[in-house]
């Protein structure tokens, strides 16, 4: 076994080691003498507290690895740690990332007291930051001029212009984040942004977007915000995905319906629209006055994978006529769980004789 490992090209050795947890990488020194120092040159470090005797042992292991690593290119660090009192070791990981030109950093923790990126911190190397953990996402005056991918999970946003320090931001994802800005306003000022995704239950009253290059917009939040698009709106918007993850409150259905239509109006340049069962249900609660807000929609997808019944099937044709009146060649796809697919197909086949337009409805199982 040792001879086989020793005969592998160094680039292949490093690639294999990059796929392992760093703890196991260090243990490979027992397999082959030629691998004794290979772990100090791997382009990927992956730290996880799972399997360690306690957190102090894990923290010391992280420090020792970072201290003994060779000064060669490091592409990515992954850091996952359970428990409290993570601030000190996490700060060491961030400092190492900025000092040694790491391009990708992925963090998954429970909670930190202070955001590990200082106010005046800058980095020319970091391109992707994924941070999961209860934290306060604090503003920065420095610049991360090459960071293109930012993914925050469970973070609290307090600044009115939180992404100003990321001028090259291309992809932004916010999962279960909390908004504590004045007026519950989320401001996304990112001239290069192409993809935006929000998932969670946090209430957002107003969104202001200055993102002229936005192509993909996904909103799966706890409400439908008042949305404003500056500098010409979304001229090249291609795909929109809308879901509702909140709770129905008695007496606010009409307001939510109106907010949803206003959101559609802001996103009117979209060529593809995907909505889920709660949105379909909301769209059918009140009469729709006027024409479809979408100018040139080419594909409509109705996703009933989470909830579906025959009452919703009956609404599909009318909803399609409302959203796709200007696009005769547009496609309408209906997604249902596999167990309901035969029922859905039978329903729409029986509707074909009544509604000629139903022939362009495609049924898919998932």
Q: Report H helices in 28-86.
A: 55-68
pLDDT along the chain (366 residues), means of 10: 58 67 71 66 88 93 91 91 93 94 96 87 94 89 90 94 93 95 92 96 89 96 91 92 74 84 94 91 80 87 73 70 74 72 60 44 60
Phi, psi of 316, rounded to the nearest 5 degrees: -60, -50
For residue 64, give the 3-state DSSP assignment: helix
Amino acid 354: pLDDT: 40
pTM of the model: 0.88
Amino acid 50: pLDDT: 92
Amino acid 243: pLDDT: 93
From residue 47, give the alpha-carbon distance in Å to each of 107, 109, 230.
10, 12, 42
Residue 74 CB contacts under 8 Å (≥ 6 apart), including other chains: 43, 44, 45, 100, 101, 102
| One-character DSSP codes across 175-221 | ES-EE-SGGGEEEEE-TT--EEEEESS----EEEEE-TT--EEEEEE
| Residue extents of the structural domains in the chain | 271-366
d(CA 318, CA 276): 16
d(CA 198, CA 190): 15
d(CA 146, CA 139): 17
d(CA 293, CA 235): 15
On whether the CB atoms of residues 127 and 106 are closer than 8 A, the answer is: no
Phi, psi of 356, rounded to the nearest 5 degrees: -60, -35
Q: What are the residues facing 150 on neighbouring strands?
A: 129, 172
Amino acid 341: pLDDT: 62
* Farthest-apart Cα atoms in the chain, separation: 76
Phi, psi of 128, rounded to the nearest 5 degrees: -140, 130
């Amino acid at each position: 076994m040792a001879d086989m490992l020793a005969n592998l090209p160094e680039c292949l050795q490093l690639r294999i080691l990059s796929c392992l947890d760093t703890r196991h990488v260090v243990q490979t020194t027992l397999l082959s003498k030629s691998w004794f120092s290979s772990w100090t040159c791997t382009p990927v470090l992956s730290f996880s507290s799972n399997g360690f005797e306690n957190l102090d042992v894990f923290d010391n292991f992280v420090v020792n690895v970072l201290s003994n690593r060779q000064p060669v290119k490091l592409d990515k660090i992954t850091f996952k740690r359970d428990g409290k009192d993570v601030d000190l070791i996490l700060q060491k990981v961030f400092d190492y990332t900025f000092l040694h030109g790491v391009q990708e950093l992925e963090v998954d923790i429970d909670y930190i007291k202070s955001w590990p990126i200082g106010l005046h911190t800058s980095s020319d190397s970091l391109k992707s930051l994924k941070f999961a953990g209860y934290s306060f996402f604090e503003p920065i005056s420095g610049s991360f001029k090459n960071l293109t991918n930012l993914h925050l999970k469970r973070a609290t946003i307090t600044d009115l212009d939180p992404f100003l320090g990321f001028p090259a931001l291309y992809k932004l994802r916010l999962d279960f984040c909390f908004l504590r800005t004045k007026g519950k306003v989320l401001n996304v000022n990112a001239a290069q942004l192409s993809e935006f995704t929000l998932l969670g239950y946090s209430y957002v009253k107003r969104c202001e977007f200055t993102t002229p290059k936005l192509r993909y917009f996904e909103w799966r939040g706890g409400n439908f915000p008042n949305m404003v698009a500056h500098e010409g709106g979304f001229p090249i918007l291609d795909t929109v995905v809308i879901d509702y993850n909140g709770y129905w409150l008695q007496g606010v259905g009409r307001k939510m319906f109106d907010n949803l239509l206003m959101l559609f109006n802001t996103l009117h340049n979209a060529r593809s629209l995907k909505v889920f069962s709660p949105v379909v249900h909301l769209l059918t609660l009140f009469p729709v006055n006027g024409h479809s807000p979408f100018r040139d929609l080419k594909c409509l997808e109705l996703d009933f994978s989470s909830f579906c019944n025959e009452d919703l099937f009956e609404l599909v044709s009318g909803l399609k006529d409302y959203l796709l009146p200007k696009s005769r060649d547009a496609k309408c796809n209906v997604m249902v769980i596999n167990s309901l697919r035969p029922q859905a197909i039978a329903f729409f086949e029986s509707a074909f004789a009544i509604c000629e337009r139903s022939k362009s409805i495609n049924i898919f199982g998932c």
